[in-house]
Structure 1
Amino acid sequence: MESVIVGVCVVGFHHTRSVVSHHRMLFIANGSRGPEVEYWIGGSTDLSTRWANLPFQSLPDGSHSHEEDYSYFMLYYEPDPYNPSEAEQEPTTFFGISCNRQIRTTELLHKSADVTRSTVQKSVVVVARKPIFGPIREKLAVVTRAYFLQGNFEDRTIITTLHDNLVQLFQHGIGESELYNGMSLRELIYRFRWKTLVLFKALLLEPKILFFGSNTELLCSSQFSLVSLIPGLIDHLDDCSSPSLDSLENMVSRSSSLKSSDRESMLKYMGLPLQIFGRGGVFNSYTPLQQLESLTCGETRFYLIGSTNSLLLSQKYKYADILVNVDENTVEILNPAYTNCLQLTAQDRKWIDALSYSVVLSWTDEILGKSESVSFVGSEDYIRQQFDEYLMALLSTVKYDMFLRRFGEHPPAEALIPHIDGNPVADFGPDWIAQWKVTNNYRIFQKCTDDELFDVVLPQHVSHGGMSFEDVQKKMAM
């Protein structure tokens, strides 16, 4: 079995002859060096030489203004056909997490000749086959701090030890809980409240979504938290680093059996995870300027990306259909094509307001929203369960709507029709459903699911029914 850990590297920022704006790396003059990979350990090949943007992803714009910061990003991996160890592999996505810090040169015990400024900035990076950022983060933080404290960057023994420990830690693979570790759904809901559902429904429509924020880790974790709301998607991001990848679609098949008590069986039967980032799509939680231009041309039709460069705010209409400002907790729909379809219905608002209320009610700054400090209602597991139920009800309703349009008042005798008054599609938004039906992930969903999913999941909004006095109180509290 291939190691989950691909490699560990050190990236340093070299000021030699570089032109630096107040955004730190707005551009670099010809002949300058800027950020560079200084050391790589892992496998038989230094893969870092294939990723021109890795140094920029590891040392994000504005990171010099933080004592410590983290970046999560994706790397397109294309095997070398001339390398025997890679000949049988397929193009896919790798995942990087970096921890960057800086130190005054006066604190260095060993100062190399190319150190010409008062501070030195570097990052330690782990590249893995899966986005296991949570389990890696704490170990990476400890090692990076120790690496800086030793005052000698030429001594990389601790980096080698980190690599070896991580390889051993994940030698038997990873579980779902490790993939969700480090993603705070509570914080996402607390920050965006009802707008969280707008973002969730927007993601399924495959627009160009740009997240902006000054804190890189919060910027990246917010996007991963959003993506993780689609059941199983975190473990199926193999195609997200390039619009040319679509390997997962070729692996999808219609489920021939169902065990309703088994969550995995249920999700597969319902066509989950939805293949959001297939051909034409990109997800890269931190995207440097050097990579941004390549996403606005060619094969890329939609994306979910993040940036810390405030210059993009003045060019937001060029790069985004939807702009999410993590600093201000705002969601701005820039493309009029998405305005109507992303208006939440009354039932949508009732449901998300109740969910938001459960988080706000149990939130305190002291516990930083950690679910282990609260009861089940409002916890991470509760939020995930609620979105699972919402999405499956939505998928079932779409199938039921198609059934009604096909057969009307004369269904086949063998059809198991649920006792539903009218067409529940109105509670999810007909405009949204019409827009979803032109997406790539809907096409795949249709291909791999039974036409009568509503036999298994009730085709009805999870918040079906009128507004109670308690609902009104919750809505006012939001």
Structure 2
Amino acid sequence: MRICYSLCSIHEIKMAFINDPVLNIIVVGFHHKKGCQVEHCYPELVPGRPSELPPVWRYLPALALPDGSHNFLSDTIFFNLPDVSDPTRTVYGVSCFRQIPVEQVIQKTDDMTRSSVQKSVCIICRAPLFGRMAVKMELVVRAWFLQGDFSQTKLLEDAYNHLNSCPVQIDQTLEGLSVQKLVENWRHKALLLFKLLLLGRKVVIYGSPAGQLSTALLTVISLLPLCLEYGLSRSANVVLSRPLSPVPTFIEEAEEELNSEISSETIFNGNNLVEELSPKETGNLLDEKDRVSHQSFDETLLSDGDRHELTGVREKCHSIGEKYKPQKSVNEAQQSPTMARDMSVDGLYNLTGQIDQAECGFPLPLFEDGYLCLPYLSLQYLDLLSDSAVKGFVVGASNVLFKQKRQLFDVLVELNDMRIETADMALRRQLALGTEDLRFADHVVRHGSTQGDAWIRDQFASYLLYLLRTSLLPDGSREIESYNSQFMAAFKNTQTYEKWLKMTNNGDVEAFMNLIPMHPFSGQLSVADMKLKFAHTMSTTEGGRKVSAAVATTGRAVATTSRAVGGALSQARGALSGWWSSLTAPPPNPPPNPNPTDNDKPSETADEKPDPPSDAEDALDVTDNKKGDSETSDPPDKLLQDSTSAIKKIQVV
């Protein structure tokens, strides 16, 4: 199916239909000796062999049954793969697995030797209909497991035919991906993740379970306008420099044929730019990572010297602002009532709602030419990330071994802990959110819970439009500082930005050029901005998190102490009074001895013996109940002296 979305309006794009969205339906089971293996495929990918896959998909079973899946009864995972028929395109997988006790299986086989049976039903789609297909497949898999006979695949074949009999719209790709929940969890750091995608770095998102992980990654991608619908057509395709990863070697030949046959139309979910990939050395940040300790990117405050670095990088960036004049002066723009700090709910949409996003170059050519987007990646694909042809990636991983290979990525996103970690100091400065960015993020956080997913995506689309419009200004302009000049310099140095300039003829779109090149939330500083910056610092920096944890712990300790402080004070007062009385009490008088002898006199060593330690004095109140017995009995020194004198009187005959 071919769609030329560059000449269509946004309304026409949303009304586009996808016929026959499902390519194959595959059953993957877990064997106690062989591991994950394909048990059935419909339609057959290898003629006459329904349980085999082509080489390009030989690691699909590891994606369908992810690492750690035995710890869950059911889950749904999303992943991307190169197309078998056209290796320059990407297809999209939705895998639903379940685990049931072996007693519930009616027709058992000889390989069912464990207490539970685990299988996955996976469908391969020609469009990224992840959320929509997941809902339907969960019902199909549940019904297939209830019948208790896995050899009966008629139900799965009927499901395949039913899914292809119902055309779906392209805008239904956003179903099941709640950006509202993403903003509620990540709050201001959602903007940070959004800007991180624009830099084209190597990002690993780690979390568990795999279904929640892949859903969160795709939700972040959906913040980029039209990216999920049309921008992932080459997100799993790369010409590798070595035959180690599960990617076919005939991709290069297919690309040469495509160059001769491609027309002015664009392939569904892609464009007609097919360029030869040049290898790129990886590990360029190893020295920096070894020198800098592993910590959160915003852990330390930036000094003035750090903020003036990377000037050499800025000189290499594109600067075409001399060709264009803003429609209004900067002073007029700052005084405009539509650019107020506290913007209304519909303020941004009123400014950018009439702009055709397709004409402005959306989706951005981000996941192309060696920049991969893989919602889930198994351990078998680990060597793929180390290939020199892979220039960047955003991948999801649930295996802890990915975290240990820190030389393979630039940023680690801890999904469960909601942490963003990097050892690259320059990247940490590029991702620092300024006052204007924090205002925008706070605007989305405050209103996102009531406005919904579509409103949140419109806000990020408007933000990106203003960012691109401001990037056309000359380097050093004050408006660029609102987006973090170091971030803007790094973004303008990416291949994505260079391609966007070519696609839009250096941004020469009338509606786009009518935008005022500035941050939509620019304005004078206030006390609210200081509070917002302080709250963001406390939530993102390591020191801030420690202070917050200490405050929470102190609050619980105070609440606990308030209940026990009365009894503790009384006990302490009693112990102190007993200890003080034992110290001030006069020593008891020794009983008179009517017949003193030399042996009864204390020895010289006893006179020189030091005073007992303070620990013994502290124990006086504990042993006070035995004082009466010690007064009536002889002291230990006296007993020792009596025994010594008795030994001297013994005569040897």
TM above 0.5, one fold? yes
Partner of 1:215: 209
The DSSP-based 3-state class of the residue aligned with 2:401 is: helix
- CA offsets 1:298-350 (integer angstroms, 9 cap, x no match): 311110001111232233x2232111111111111233341111111111111
Please, which of 306, 315, 325 is the counterpart of residue 414 of structure 2?
A: 325
Q: Does 1:345 align with 2:434?
A: yes
- CA offsets 1:186-241 (integer angstroms, 9 cap, x no match): 11111211111111111111110100111212111111111111111112211000
- Distance of 1:401 and 1:152 partners within structure 2: 68
Deviates more, 1:329-338 or 1:46-55: 46-55
Deviates more, 1:437-446 or 1:300-309: 437-446
Partner of 1:250: 272
Partner of 2:466: 393
- Distance of 1:92 and 1:286 partners within structure 2: 18
Alignment-mate amino acid for residue 334 of structure 1: A
| Matches for 1:73-472 after TM superposition, within 5 Å | 73-79=79-85, 91-170=88-167, 173-176=168-171, 178-236=172-230, 237-244=232-239, 248=270, 250=272, 266-315=356-405, 317-359=406-448, 362=449, 375-376=450-451, 379-401=452-474, 423-451=478-506, 455-468=513-526
- Distance of 2:30 and 2:118 partners within structure 1: 6
Partner of 2:282: none
- CA offsets 1:242-270 (integer angstroms, 9 cap, x no match): 22489845359xxxxxxx99979721232
Q: Does 1:49 align with 2:54?
A: yes
Alignment-mate amino acid for residue 309 of structure 1: N
- Distance of 2:31 and 2:45 partners within structure 1: 27
The alignment-based identity, stated in percent, is: 30
Shift of 1:43: 6.9
Alignment-mate amino acid for residue 132 of structure 1: L
Shift of 1:468: 4.8
The DSSP-based 3-state class of the residue aligned with 1:400 is: coil
Larger-gyration structure (1/2): 2
- Distance of 2:159 and 2:39 partners within structure 1: 16
Alignment-mate amino acid for residue 292 of structure 1: L
On the 8 A contact 2:45/2:54 being kept in 1, the answer is no
- Distance of 1:271 and 1:438 partners within structure 2: 17
Name the TM-score, length of structure 2 as normaliser: 0.59
Partner of 1:14: 31
Shift of 1:91: 2.7
Shift of 1:475: 6.3
Alignment-mate amino acid for residue 152 of structure 1: D
Shift of 1:78: 3.8
- Distance of 1:131 and 1:42 partners within structure 2: 20
Please, which of 63, 72, 75 is the counterpart of residue 78 of structure 2?
A: 72
**CA separation of 1:200/1:310 partners in 2, compared to 1, >3 Å: closer, same or farther?**
same
The DSSP-based 3-state class of the residue aligned with 1:266 is: coil
On the 8 A contact 2:99/2:119 being kept in 1, the answer is yes
On the 8 A contact 2:370/2:392 being kept in 1, the answer is yes
The DSSP-based 3-state class of the residue aligned with 1:304 is: strand
**CA separation of 1:212/1:272 partners in 2, compared to 1, >3 Å: closer, same or farther?**
same
- Distance of 1:251 and 1:282 partners within structure 2: 16
Alignment-mate amino acid for residue 49 of structure 1: P
**CA separation of 1:322/1:196 partners in 2, compared to 1, >3 Å: closer, same or farther?**
same
- Distance of 2:69 and 2:198 partners within structure 1: 31
Deviates more, 1:386-395 or 1:460-469: 460-469
Partner of 1:34: 35
- Distance of 1:393 and 1:295 partners within structure 2: 33
- Distance of 1:471 and 1:220 partners within structure 2: 35
Structure 2 residue runs without a partner (length 5+) = 2-18, 240-250, 256-266, 275-349, 537-653
**CA separation of 1:325/1:261 partners in 2, compared to 1, >3 Å: closer, same or farther?**
closer
**CA separation of 1:264/1:60 partners in 2, compared to 1, >3 Å: closer, same or farther?**
farther
Shift of 1:471: 5.6
**CA separation of 1:90/1:98 partners in 2, compared to 1, >3 Å: closer, same or farther?**
closer
Shift of 1:140: 0.7
RMSD (CA atoms): 2.5
Structure 1 residue runs without a partner (length 5+) = 17-32, 80-88, 253-259, 363-374, 406-421
- Distance of 1:114 and 1:264 partners within structure 2: 61
**CA separation of 1:249/1:290 partners in 2, compared to 1, >3 Å: closer, same or farther?**
same
On the 8 A contact 1:285/1:306 being kept in 2, the answer is yes
Name the TM-score, length of structure 1 as normaliser: 0.80
**CA separation of 1:431/1:476 partners in 2, compared to 1, >3 Å: closer, same or farther?**
closer
Paired residue total = 408
Shift of 1:464: 1.2
Deviates more, 1:450-459 or 1:279-288: 450-459
- Distance of 1:43 and 1:156 partners within structure 2: 13
On the 8 A contact 1:270/1:395 being kept in 2, the answer is no
Shift of 1:136: 0.9
- Distance of 1:218 and 1:471 partners within structure 2: 34
- Distance of 2:110 and 2:170 partners within structure 1: 46
